[in-house]
A and B are shown apart, each in its own frame.
Chain A
Amino acid sequence: EAQVTQNPRYLITVTGKKLTVTCSQNMNHEYMSWYRQDPGLGLRQIYYSMNVEVTDKGDVPEGYKVSRKEKRNFPLILESPSPNQTSLYFCASSFQGAGYTQYFGPGTRLTVL
Chain B
Amino acid sequence: AQSVAQPEDQVNVAEGNPLTVKCTYSVSGNPYLFWYVQYPNRGLQFLLKYITGDNLVKGSYGFEAEFNKSQTSFHLKKPSALVSDSALYFCAVRDAVVSNAGNMLTFGGGTRLMVKP
Spell out A's residues near B (CB within 8 Å).
31, 33, 35, 40-45, 48-50, 56, 58-59, 90, 92, 94, 99-107
Contact = CB atoms under 8 A, between A and B. Distances in A.
Nearest to B41: A107
A106 B42 CA distance: 6
Given A33-B103, A42-B90, A94-B103, A100 B109 contact: no
Contacts, number: 62
Q: Interface SS of chain A: helix, strand, loop or mixed? A: strand
B106 interface: yes
A42 B51 contact: no
A11 B105 CA distance: 26
Given A102-B36, A102-B92, 4 more contacts: A33-B103, A59-B106, A90-B43, A94-B103
Contacts of A92: 44
Contact of A90 (B44, B49, B92): B44
Interface residues of B, number: 24
Contacts of B36: 102, 104
A44 to B, nearest CB: 7
Interface in B27-74: 32, 34, 36, 42-46, 49, 51
B110 A42 contact: yes
**7 nearest A-B pairs in the assembled complex, by CB-CB distance:** A42-B109, A43-B107, A99-B51, A104-B44, A42-B107, A48-B103, A104-B43
A99 to B, nearest CB: 4
Contacts of B102: 48, 50, 56
Contact of A58 (B6, B104, B108): B104
B110 A33 contact: no
A45 B109 contact: no
Contacts of A56: 102-103
